[in-house]
């Protein structure tokens, strides 16, 4: 692999991370505003994805400039879905628009339509029990066929 391929992989990873942040911002703002808990979770997710606070703020101002990208692996798809459900439920008040957006993202990620609501409910239950994404993924995969 030459240096240009490495740079392209890095850019692709950064683009996917920015796409994920865009999705999280959409969920956070779906109920009409951005609460303290939601902003805190956004900041944490940005840090975890190597996105500077200034980059996050720029994305929040210019959301339309960040392109949507489907995560490459099933593991990453699930982790992003976990984060989206976490964002939906972080303020303990789940709005219909947040639920609808989570379902749309699940479909875009390639999860089977007939299990999406059950999967989201199971993820939310695990988040409430402080069960992380890896263990939650194992539970969800064991209970249902999640991908087409």
Would you say residue 148 lies in a domain? no
pLDDT value of residue 96: 92
Would you say residue 122 lies in a domain? yes
Q: Give the residue among 126, 146, 100, 52 at the shortest CA–CA distance from 18.
A: 52
Q: What is the DSSP string of 61-77?
A: H-GGGSPP---SSHHHH
pLDDT value of residue 77: 94
Residues with Cβ within 8 Å of 45's Cβ and at least 6 positions away in sequence, in order, are: 20, 21, 24, 83
Three-point CA angle 57, 63, 66, nearest 5°: 105
pLDDT digits (tens, 9 = 90+) for 90-105: 988 888 999 999 999 9
Chain centroid to CA 104: 12
What is the pTM for the complete model shown?
0.88
pLDDT value of residue 5: 43
Would you say residue 56 lies in a domain? yes
Would you say residue 25 lies in a domain? yes
- Say which CATH number the domain at 28 has: 1.10.3680
Looking up tokens 């989570």, which residue turns up?
A: 102
Range of the domain at 80: 3-143
DSSP 8-state assignment for residue 113: G
Looking up tokens 């505003």, which residue turns up?
A: 33
Chain centroid to CA 26: 10
Domains in the chain: how many in total?
1
Would you say residue 88 lies in a domain? yes
pLDDT in tens, the chain (148 residues): 455 443 433 444 678 899 999 999 999 999 888 889 999 999 999 999 889 999 999 999 999 999 999 998 999 999 999 999 999 999 888 889 999 999 999 999 999 999 999 999 999 999 999 999 999 999 999 888 777 6
């Amino acid at each position: 692999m030459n240096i240009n391929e490495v740079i392209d992989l890095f850019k692709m990873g950064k683009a996917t991370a920015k796409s994920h942040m865009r999705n999280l911002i959409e969920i956070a703002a779906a109920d009409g505003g951005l609460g303290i808990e939601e902003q805190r979770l956004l900041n944490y997710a940005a840090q975890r994805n190597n996105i500077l606070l200034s980059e996050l703020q720029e994305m929040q101002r210019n959301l339309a400039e960040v392109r949507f990208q489907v995560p490459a692996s099933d593991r990453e798809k699930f982790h992003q879905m976990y984060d989206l459900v976490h964002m939906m439920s972080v303020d303990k008040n789940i709005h219909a628009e947040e639920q609808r957006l989570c379902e749309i993202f699940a479909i875009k990620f390639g999860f089977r339509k007939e299990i999406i609501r059950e999967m989201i409910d199971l993820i939310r239950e695990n988040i409430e029990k402080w069960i992380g994404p890896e263990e939650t993924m194992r539970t969800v995969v064991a209970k249902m066929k999640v991908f087409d």
